[in-house]
Each structure stands twice: as structure tokens, then as C-alpha cells.
Chain A
Amino acid sequence: MNNLNFTFPQKVKTFCFALMAVGFISIIASFAVDTPSVADAHYHHTRAWANILIGSFFFMAVGLGAAFFMGLQYAAEAGWATSVKRITEAVSWFLPWGLSLMMLMFILGHFGVHNLYAFFDKDVIEHDVKVQEKMGYFGAFWWARTILYMAGWLYFTHKLRQNSVDADHVSDNSHHWKNVKLGAWFMVLFAVTSSTASWDWVMSLDIHWFSTLFGWYVFSGMWVSAIICITLIVVYLRKLGYLDFVTESTIHDLGKWMFAISFLWTYLYFAQFLLYWYADIPEEVIYFQQRWENYKALMWTMFFINFTFPMIMLMSRDSKRNFWFLTFVGFVILAGHYLDVIVMVMPATVGTHWTGLSWMEIGPFLGFLGLFIFVVFTNLTKRPLAVKNHPFMDEALHHSV
């Protein structure tokens, strides 16, 4: 193992700032041009705000997915991914940034700066009996839950990472066993809060609609996105000459995860669709009707990229061992899951004013991507790229499939 101290290449840093500048400018510009073609009293730069929410949520979810993956490895006592553990840790620590952005959006919504969430909008509440009935769930209780999710996730992610670093300086395995316990408890918390947070933060955009499966559908999307980000960073760092101790089999296994979780996503997406399609109850099927009528092309593209594309591209062993190919497929699926979040948020907010995918979506995506890469790579420079004294490290170094 050599070259354990990552230095942030200046070129990449410049690239990140360029992306952030593009994002910033396009967000400002979209506020200037974003007006509905048909007059609508409830439309206040909704598309521009929705794009900020989408970017914040997507990359927050990537961080959260990585934190979940980290906890999962401990709870399952799995050893194969120990050699890429520091990458997972770095990705997971985008979480404070992502959650801050989400919190900012909630506070702005609470004070009526944007009206993405109907339960923040006094005008809507006044005229909608169904929303009034739900206010017990959405008022102060909603804020209490939001704060609980954020505090809980940050606490566990921070603790898991801190113990991992502290373990580098001691000779026994005590920190590892602490993390096994923490990981198991985090799984319990995450199982509940990942679902409820998806309801509270994303599903609540469609204030009248509900689906208990929605949380798992969002969760599988965030999980596969996190796996892709970890894989892409590992492949990139190896190209730069780091991570020579990560075996090809480990990356092959990450590719298998990409493949498998893409199917989990498809399974959940289709399960949700099938039940609503079959029952055909107006208040339930409205969710898919909105998407079918105004977002048909986007919905089919998103479904094709997230299901058919990985199925065909990642089925064979050779495709997962060709890292250029894996990188290409990873980027495409990552974009596919961003589209998925767009299809979740846009019909509920912009609705019929949608005019098709444009620079107003792509610009903010690039901006948030720049921020994400910048934060994650900065995190990577702060710690050695390999863990010391981890009881499963030896297993990971000899991993072979």
C-alpha cells in the first residue's frame, strides 16, 4: 500500500468551481426567465425553486446512501468493501452539506419565499379541507420529525467515521466492535426514517397523494446512486495512481451492486405502479396520470435508463471488469436517477406548466455536481486512503471473485 495521502488535483478543483459557476448562473438566469405561459396565481418561479430542491435532495440522498452502506457493512460484518471504506466515508460526509441545503429550502418555504410545499401555504390550507385534515401531521410535528432525521443521521454518520479514524491510532479492535453496534442501531433508525423522510420531504409535494411504498422506492434510488458515486471515485483514484491495494474484484463487486440495486429500484417502482394501475382509484391513480399526460417522454426515458440500460450493459462479467465501460454506464445511470427525482418533484410543483427538459434542469445539476465533487474530494484529502487496524482489511486486500 503506497500513496495513501490524496492531494486534490488543481485541475479538478478548477473544474468544480467552473461547474458551480455554471450552476449558480443558470439558477439566477432561470429565476429571471421562469414565468408560466398561462397565468397562474400559485406559480412563483416554481420551476427554479424546484430545481434547487431536486439538486439538494439528490446529492443529500447520495451522501445518505453512502452512510447507509457504511453502516450496513458493519451490521452485516462484511469485509469485502473495507479497502474502499474511506471513499464511502468521504461520500457520506456530503450529508451535512446536503442536509443544510434541504433545511435552507424548508426554512424559506416556511416563511413563504417559495411555495413548493402546500402545507406551508396558508392560502392553500384555508381553501382545502383535505390539507386541513392533514395539518396535525404536517405542522409542528413535521418540523420535529425533520429535525430528528437530520440530527439522527448526522450523529450516526459522524460517530461511524470518527470511530474509524480513531481505530487507526490504537492496536486493538475495540472501535470496530463499537461501530458494529452503532451500525446495527443506525440500520434500525434508517429503516424507519428513510421511509418517513421520503414521505415528508418528497411525497408531501403531492399533498393529496400517498403511497406506503414510496419510501423504499426513493431509498433504492439513493442507494444505487451512492454505489455509483463510490465506484466512479474508486476508478478515478486508481487512474490517478492511488488505491493500488483495491483489487479488481472489489470494483467488480461494486459493479454487481450497481446491477442488483438497479433491479431493486425497478422492482419497487413497478410494484408501486402495478397496484395503482390495477386498482384504478381516482385519488390514487392521479399521481401516474399527471406524469403520463405531461411527462411521458421523461418518464419513459428515466425508466429505460434506470432499468433496461443497466440490465443490458451490466449483465456480463466482462462489462463489470472493464472499468472504462463501468464508468460510462455509471454516469448514465446516475443521470437517470437524477431524472427520476425530476419526475418525482416536477409534476407535483410545476405541473402542467412543464415545457420539457432544458438548461434550467441541466445547469443546476452541474452546479450541485460541482459542489458534491468539491466537498467529497476535500473530505478525501483529510484522511489516509486506507484504514489501519480494521479486522477485515486483510480479507478485502485478498478479495477475489
Chain B
Amino acid sequence: MAGTVTKKVIHGVYDDEVPLLEACKKLGKAGIKIKDVFTPFPIHGIDPIVGVPRTRLAICAFLYGLTGCGLATLMMWYMMVSDWPIDIGGKPNWSYVYNIPAFIPITFEATIFCAGHGMALTFLLRCMLIPGARPKNPDPRTTNDKFLIYLELTEDQTSQADGILRSAGASEVNYKGIVTEKLAY
């Protein structure tokens, strides 16, 4: 087929995270791109090795926090100052600025509420962890005690990758058929 490339799917399965990390480093050195890694628990320091970019979740959190802060201020200004000013403890609500200490706790809580919920929802959506989502896990054993490197490689890289996976101590190297990808021009 014109404009497409056929790739082999390879699963390198490990019993421990240490040989897995070693294999990832070696693959990176050989210039072989790792498609994904599946492990039973998060492995510290794996992101830069596998080539996962830094998360941008923190930027989202900041924006959600700002939204919460703004909404809370708007709400309290409307309720407490603009619409129906109440005199609480000898402090009539004629001005938002003079009574600002009273409004700070709610601003703070609303900021955290929006940042926390927004971040959790963004994370779930970004991972496609939504109701009815189909599991993308290639091998169910990675939810138990196996560590898996997932590769999609062209024919010429296959034997080299196979050698690296085995030399790092893979307990299995499984070939799972082929995928067809469109070439990017």
C-alpha cells in the first residue's frame, strides 16, 4: 500500500522494575522509540528515560485556581456588597476592600475546590478514564506482577530490539502481530 508502513508489535515482559529500567535506557541509547510502558505501580524517574514530556497538569491547576478565585470574589461581591449588604459585627458591607479579611477564607476554599476538581477531571479525561472506556492494557498480567515494554517497530529494528530486551533480562519477548500506520509526509 502506498503511504503506509507496517510495524511489528513487540512486548518485552519483565519480572522486576530494575531490568525494565535498564532495557529502557539501552533502547533509548540505540535510538529505538519506546511506544509505552505498563507497570503494576508507578516507577520513579522513568519519565525522562522513556521520553514522556513533562506534565502540563500544573498549568491547568493554576488556571482552574484562578477561575475559582475569580468566581468566589464575584459571588461574594454580588451577594454581600452589591445586592444586600449586611452589617456583621459592626462591619457594614459597604466596601469589598475594607472587609476583605472576611472574604479570604471563602476565596481560598473556592480556589482549592476548583483547582482540585478541575485537575482530577482533566486527568481522567486526558487518560480517557471515562465510563464505558475500553481498557488499553495489552497484557492483563501487568496489573499483577509483570512489567511490560510495548514497542512498535519496523522490520529492520526488530532483531536489534529483541537482542536488547533479552540481554537486559526479559522473562518473555512476545510478538503480537502487526499494525499498519500511515506515513507522515
- A→B interface (CB under 8 Å): 270, 273-274, 277-280, 316-317, 400-401
Q: Are A280 and B44 in contact (CB under 8 A)?
A: no
B131 contacts partner chain A, Cβ-Cβ < 8 Å:
no
From B58, B91, B101, A274 is in contact (CB under 8 Å) with B101
Label chain A's interface by main secondary structure: helix
Residues of A within 8 A of B91 (CB): 278, 280
Within 8 A of A (CB), among B134-171: none
CB of B102 closer than 8 Å to a CB of A: yes
With A400-B45, A401-B44 as contacts: A273 and B89 at CB distance below 8 Å: no
**For chains A and B in complex, what number of residue pairs have CB atoms within 8 angstroms?**
22
- B44 CB contacts on chain A under 8 angstroms: 400-401
Binding site for A on B (CB under 8 A): 44-45, 58, 88-91, 101-102, 104-105
- Nearest CB of chain A from residue B25's CB, rounded to whole Å: 15
- Asked whether A270 lies within 8 Å of B104 as measured between CB atoms, the reply is yes
> Is B104's CB under 8 angstroms from A274's CB?
yes
| Contact status B104-A278, CB under 8 Å | no
Nearest CB of A to B30, in Å:
24
Shortest CB–CB separation between residue A64 and chain B, in angstroms? 29
Taking CB as reference atom, which chain A residue is nearest B44? Answer: A400
Asked whether A277 lies within 8 Å of B101 as measured between CB atoms, the reply is yes
Known: A274-B102, A274-B105. 5 other contacts (CB 8 A): A274-B101, A277-B101, A280-B90, A280-B91, A316-B58
What A residues does B105 contact at CB under 8 A?
Answer: 274
Within the assembled complex, what's the spacing in Å between the Cα atoms of A400 and B45? 7
Are the CB atoms of B89 and A280 closer together than 8 Å? yes
- Which residue from B45, B89, B104 sits with its C-beta under 8 Å from A279? B89
Establish whether residues B45 and A278, one from each chain, have CB atoms under 8 Å apart when the complex forms. no
Nearest first, the 9 closest Cβ-Cβ pairs linking A and B are A400-B44, A400-B45, A274-B101, A277-B101, A278-B89, A280-B90, A280-B89, A278-B102, A401-B44
Instruction: Write the nearest CB–CB distance from A276 to chain B, whole angstroms.
Output: 10
In the assembled complex, the Cα of A317 lies from the Cα of B59 at a distance in Å of 12
How far, in angstroms, from A9 to B44 measured CA to CA in the complex?
A: 37
| C-alpha spacing A273/B58, complex, angstroms | 31
User: How far, in whole Å, are A270 and B102 apart by their CA atoms in the complex?
Assistant: 11
For the complex, what is the distance from the CA of A357 to the CA of B64, rounded to whole Å? 40
Question: How many Å lie between the Cα of A316 and that of B62 in the bound state?
Answer: 11
Q: Which residues does chain B contribute within 8 Å of A316, judged by CB atoms?
A: 58
Closest to A277 in B: B101
Contacts of A278 in B (CB 8 A): 88-89, 91, 101-102
The complex places the Cα of A317 from the Cα of B61 at a distance, in Å, of 14
Which residues of chain A have C-beta atoms less than 8 A from B88's C-beta? 278
Name the residue on A nearest B46 (C-beta). A400
Give Cα A316–Cα B61 distance, bound, in whole angstroms.
12
Question: What's the nearest-Cβ distance from chain A to residue B161, in Å?
Answer: 26
Cβ-closest chain B residue relative to A399:
B44
B152 to chain A, nearest CB (A): 28
Question: 17 A–B contact pairs at CB < 8 A?
Answer: A270-B104, A273-B101, A274-B102, A274-B105, A277-B101, A278-B88, A278-B89, A278-B91, A278-B101, A278-B102, A279-B89, A280-B89, A280-B90, A280-B91, A316-B58, A317-B58, A400-B44
Complex contacts, B102 vs chain A, CB 8 Å? 274, 278
Q: Tell me which of A278, A279, A316, A317 has the highest count of chain B C-beta atoms within 10 A of its own C-beta.
A: A278
